[in-house]
Each structure stands twice: as C-alpha cells, then as structure tokens.
Amino acid sequence: MNVFRNNSTDAAYNIGLEEKIFEEFCGDEEFFMLWRNANAVIVGSNQVIENEVDLEYAKHHGISIVRRKTGGGAVYHDLGNVNYTYISKNVSEFGNFLVFAQPVIDFLQSRGVDARHIGKNDIGINDGTTDRKISGTAQRVKDGYILHHGTLMFDVDITVLEKVLTPDPAKLTSKGIKSVRSRVCNISEYLPISRDEFWEEICRHFNAERDVSEYIQ
C-alpha cells in the first residue's frame, strides 16, 4: 500500500486533490492518505447547502463550504479533525464500511480508546450510556475502484460545529437524539494529548512519511 500525508489544509484544494487522484487512479497498488482541513463545511453530493449550513455564520467566521462527490451528510472540519482516504480495487466490499474503517479503529484501540463501529458507517465511543460519534465515512465506486474516506474528530470545536451546521431537527428527533452535541464527541476526551501529537502519531502508525505531492508529480 502507498501511504501518504497531505500537508495542505486548504479544503477546496484537498477535496479536489482527492478527486483527481481517484479519477486518475490505476493499477493494483492500494492508496492511503491522511489530511486535515482548516475551517470548512464539507457537504454531500446531493445535499442542498442552504438546508444544511448557516451561510451567514459561515461567511462571518471565514468557514469555507466545499462539496464532495460522495453521499452522506454535511460535516464541519477544523484542524482538530483528521481525514483519511483509502482507494483500492476491492469494489466487492462497497457498502462494507467496517472493512475499511477497521485499521483506524485498531489504531485508536492501540492508544487505549474504546472505539467501535456503530450504525451503518460511523465510528463511535460508548460513554457508558450511549454511543457517541467520532467519525463518519462515505464511499464511491468508479471504473473498478472504490474510494472510502472518513473523519476523525480529535478536538474539533463543537460549539462552532453546532452553529454552522443546521440539520433538520426532525432527523435528530427520529433517531432519539436531542442535539448535535449529544450525538458526537472528541477523541481528546479519552486521549489526553495535543492535536499535533495526535496527527504525528497517526501518521507514524500508518507510516505516512511521504507528502502526497511526491505521488502526484
């Protein structure tokens, strides 16, 4: 597997780069990339932005809005969030989110975090009462290849997340969730290190020593 770290934090560039790599990917070698975005909302391929994002709040706080080509919900990114991208020919596993998320779960468990697969496509931590989400994932298939990408909330500013994302309250109610805050949590609540230390640890764990720029030259 080719493993890279992407040192850019520009959300529009990073989403575009991920798509470019996927569109041009060929061969049997698998690809894995770790990356982070500065303040941004990443919306799913079929979402109506005005229904998901407080546009005035985003504009006032310099939060960019970028659309991805995978489905799923809108997510807020800042530098307290780590993203990962996995591309392979293993298209038979499309829809099997656990098989691609398991290495990330294994990493967290190796650091003493009781991470587990929850729901269809999330990773969470049980706080003793309920499962709280720390990661969402999405997939896409094209020309015999699958792209699986996900988030890892290490110490995301949840106050900003709550204000910039405007999910339909009926969706939360239907799932028995009182608020976005009650549904999610940060890994840092269970792993007392800094966000930069977490970034370096996950890069070392996956041997992501090369910048992705080496891959796209």
Per-residue confidence of the chain (217 residues) as pLDDT tens digits?
899 999 999 999 999 999 999 999 988 889 999 999 999 999 999 999 999 999 999 999 999 999 999 999 999 999 999 999 999 999 999 989 999 999 999 999 999 999 999 988 999 998 888 899 999 999 999 999 999 999 999 999 999 999 999 976 545 434 433 445 558 999 999 999 999 999 999 999 999 999 998 888 7
User: What distance, in Å, lies between the first and last C-alpha atoms of the chain?
Assistant: 18
What confidence score (pLDDT) does residue 128 get?
81
Query: The tokens of 94 are what?
Result: 């499309």
Beta strands 81-88 and 31-35, pairing class: antiparallel
Q: Give the H or E element holding residue 116.
A: strand 115-118
Tell me, what's the pLDDT at 214?
87
Classify 174 as helix, strand or coil.
helix
CB 138, CB 44: distance < 8 Å: yes
Model pTM score: 0.90
At the topology level, CATH places domain 2-216 in BirA Bifunctional Protein; domain 2 (3.30.930)
